Amino acid sequence: MNIILLKVAAAVLLCALVEAKSVIVPGALLYDTDGDEIQAHGAGILQVGTTFYWFGEDKADNSALFSGVTCYTSTDLVNWERQNDALTPISGTNISSLDIVERPKVIYNEQNEQYVMWFHSDNSDYGLAMVGVATADTPCGPYSYRGSFSPLGAQSRDESVFQDVDTDKTAYLLYASDNNQDFKIAKMDANYYNVTEVVAEMTGATLEAPGMLKRDGVYWLFASHTSGWAPNPNKYFYADSTSGPWSSQADIAPEDTNTYCSQNAYDLPLGSNAIYMGDRWDSSLLGNSRYTWYPLSWSSGDPQIVYADLWKVDYSAGTYTVVNGTAYAAQDGTLGGSAVLLGSDSTYNGYEGVGYLGSGGTLSINVNGIGAEQWVSLYYANGDSSWRNTTISVNGGDSVVVDQPDTGGSHVILSAPVLLYLEEGTNTLLIGADQSNYAGDMYQIVVYEET
Ligand SMILES: *[C@@H]1O[C@H](CO)[C@@H](O)[C@H](O)[C@H]1NC(C)=O
Ligand SMILES: *[C@@H]1O[C@H](CO)[C@@H](O)[C@H](O)[C@H]1NC(C)=O
Ligand SMILES: *[C@@H]1O[C@H](CO)[C@@H](O)[C@H](O)[C@H]1NC(C)=O
Ligand SMILES: *[C@@H]1O[C@H](CO)[C@@H](O)[C@H](O)[C@H]1NC(C)=O
From 186, 239, 185, 188, select the one nearest 207 (Cα to Cα): 185
Rg of the chain taking only CA atoms, in angstroms: 23
Residues 289 and 40: their CA atoms lie apart, in Å, by: 10
Q: How far is CA 89 from CA 93, 126, 338, 412, in A?
A: 8, 17, 51, 41
CATH number, domain of 409, equals: 2.60.120.260
Residue-wise pLDDT tens digits, 346-358:
999 999 999 999 9
Predicted local distance difference test score (pLDDT) of residue 19 = 84
Cα(438) to centroid(ligand 4), Å? 9
Predicted local distance difference test score (pLDDT) of residue 2 = 45
- The pair phi, psi for residue 100, each rounded to 5°, is -115, 130
- Whole-model pTM? 0.95
CATH number, domain of 92, equals: 2.115.10.20
Residue-wise pLDDT tens digits, 128-184:
999 999 999 999 999 999 999 999 999 999 999 999 999 999 999 999 999 999 999
- Do 348 and 292 share a structural domain? no
> Atom 1 in ligand 4: which residue has the minimum CA distance?
389
The answer to the question of residue 175 being in a domain is yes
How open is the CA angle 312-317-318, to the nearest 5 degrees? 70
Predicted local distance difference test score (pLDDT) of residue 5 = 44
Predicted local distance difference test score (pLDDT) of residue 152 = 98
The answer to the question of residue 138 being in a domain is yes
- Do 377 and 307 share a structural domain? no
Mark which of 299, 322, 345 sits at the end of a domain.
Answer: 322
Query: Is 5 in a helix, a strand, or coil?
Result: helix
The answer to the question of residue 9 being in a domain is no
Residues 108 and 163: their CA atoms lie apart, in Å, by: 9
Cα(435) to centroid(ligand 4), Å? 9
Query: How many CB atoms lie under 10 A from the CB of residue 350?
Result: 8
- Do 422 and 371 share a structural domain? yes
Q: Percentage of the chain surpassing pLDDT 90? A: 95
Residues 61 and 67: their CA atoms lie apart, in Å, by: 8
- Do 349 and 293 share a structural domain? no
Name the domain count of the chain: 2
- Do 304 and 357 share a structural domain? no
Cα(325) to centroid(ligand 3), Å? 10
Residues 2 and 399: their CA atoms lie apart, in Å, by: 42
Say yes or no to pLDDT of 11 above 70. no
Mark which of 322, 338, 370 sits at the end of a domain.
Answer: 322
Residue 71's domain comprises 24-322
Query: How many CB atoms lie under 10 A from the CB of residue 396?
Result: 7
- Do 304 and 384 share a structural domain? no
Tell me: cis bond preceding 142? Omega within 30 of 0 counts.
yes
Residue-wise pLDDT tens digits, 212-242:
999 999 999 999 999 999 999 999 999 999 9
The answer to the question of residue 4 being in a domain is no
- Do 330 and 393 share a structural domain? yes
> Atom 10 in ligand 2: which residue has the minimum CA distance?
194
- Do 340 and 278 share a structural domain? no
Ligand in nearest proximity to the CA of 437: 4
Residue-wise pLDDT tens digits, 376-408:
999 999 999 899 999 999 999 999 999 999 999
Predicted local distance difference test score (pLDDT) of residue 158 = 98
Q: Percentage of the chain surpassing pLDDT 70? A: 96
Predicted local distance difference test score (pLDDT) of residue 246 = 98
Strand positions, DSSP E, 228-310: 235-239, 250-251, 263-270, 273-280, 290-297, 304-305
What residues flank ligand 1, with Cβ below 6 Å? 92-94, 128, 148
The answer to the question of residue 88 being in a domain is yes
The answer to the question of residue 12 being in a domain is no
- Do 259 and 388 share a structural domain? no
- Do 434 and 335 share a structural domain? yes
The answer to the question of residue 15 being in a domain is no
Mean pLDDT estimate for the chain: 96
Cα(430) to centroid(ligand 4), Å? 18
- Do 160 and 143 share a structural domain? yes
- CB-based burial, 279-309: b 16+ in 10 Å, e otherwise: bbbbeeebbbbbbbbbbbbeeeeebbbebbb
Predicted local distance difference test score (pLDDT) of residue 355 = 98
Q: Which of the pair, 19 or 441, is modelled with greater confidence? A: 441
